[in-house]
Amino acid sequence: MSIPFPVRIQAAVVRAVYALPHGLRRAFAGKPEVRDGQTLALDAQVILKFQRMSKATMVMPGGVGPSRDEMEHARHLVGGPRIEPVAVRELGIPRERGETPARLYTPAGLGGASGLLVYVHGGGWAVGSMESHDHVARFLAQRARVRVLSVGYRLAPEHPFPAGLEDVQAALDYAFAKAVDLGVDPERIAVGGDSAGGNLAAVAVQEAVRRGGPVPVFQLLLYPVTDLSTKRRSYQQFAETYFLTSDNMDWFADRYAPEPLDRTDPRISPLLAADLAGLPPTYLSTAGFDPLRDEGEAYAQALEAAGVEVYLSRQSDLIHGYANYIGVGHRFEDATAEAAEALRKALGC
């Protein structure tokens, strides 16, 4: 898909600022921001300055439509050039009524019977798409040397809970059932996602264990939503200013799990599951300047208490959604590369 001319100009401006010497980038971003004993990375301050100048937010005035458009627009600004060579195959995953679109990414030079990551994009269950996270899927595929199956699950509010979850569960079942056709080793299937996608991935794994079917050997959770029933301390500390806000999360939750749904249901809030034993080894990252930080870390602690092997990585100087910014600066790419390396090691690639 061609990029509109005004967007190309904006992307060029963003790249030009990131190419400036450190001192000039610091002058553009302003003095260092320190909160809760953490110093925000300069790369993160620069992107926040751009977002504030453009008045971009996770939830745009006008609701769902403009918010979705904004996320698709943003990927051209911060995702970077398309990562190649990666082969892409469009798929349809059968569900009870119709199909869920999916996209299989295969990095060049990857042999048959590889590992697979079933990837679930973020966006508050209401925005985001396979397109908005195309660069993330390509990055993980190439860096981890695995195939990636990106899932285009149904979005709220048109399709509230449990529609998206059902699509992700169907995608997991499909990955195991069609492993040979996908060129995948069924013993090396992982699941992962970012933000709301991390929530759906975590719940889908819990449900796989509960059902007694095949279970992924690894889960990759980037700054996941794990508890919609309450707001922890990080919500108060980072309620606004750092792109994802407390009000944004209220808006997303009201569309995905509106009243009278019980948000203590573990299928909505996986942290509240009664038993976490039997879940696969997990890489879980949080961002220091993120309302979701504390609930993500609480989930890592709960997994560890249940005997699950967990690697918790707080990227203390970054903001929510950092994997989407891999095309600008270096800090976002470094953090996302750490996750890709954990996936590579977990799947023996």
Alpha carbons 322 and 336: distance in angstroms, whole number:
8
Q: Is 83 helix (H, G, I), strand (E, B) or coil?
A: coil
Q: Which of 43, 185, 227, 290 is an active site residue?
A: 290
What pLDDT digit, counting tens, does each position of 16-59 carry? Answer: 999 999 999 999 999 999 999 999 999 999 999 999 888 888 88
At residue 1 the predicted structure's pLDDT band, cuts being 50, 70 and 90, is: very low
**Which residue type occupies 274?**
A
290 catalytic? Reply is: yes
- 135 noted as active-site residue: no
Please tell me the predicted confidence (pLDDT) of residue 7.
76
Over the chain, what is the mean pLDDT? 95
Q: Which amino acid is at 313?
A: S
Angle of helix 331-346 relative to helix 42-54, nearest 10 degrees? 120
Quick check: is 320 catalytic? yes
Looking at 114, 132, 195, 234, which residue is catalytic? 195
pTM above 0.95, yes or no: yes
The band of 102, judged by pLDDT with boundaries at 50, 70 and 90, is very high
Measured distance CA(8)–CA(17) in Å, rounded: 14
Count other C-beta atoms under 10 Å from residue 224's C-beta: 32
Predicted pLDDT of residue 194 = 98
Walk me through the domains of the chain, giving residue ranges and CATH numbers: 5-75 (no CATH), 82-346 (3.40.50.1820)
246-286 pLDDT, tens digit per residue, is 999 999 999 999 999 999 999 999 999 999 999 999 999 99
pLDDT tens per residue across span 180-194: 999 999 999 999 999
Catalytic residue among 73, 133, 135, 320: 320
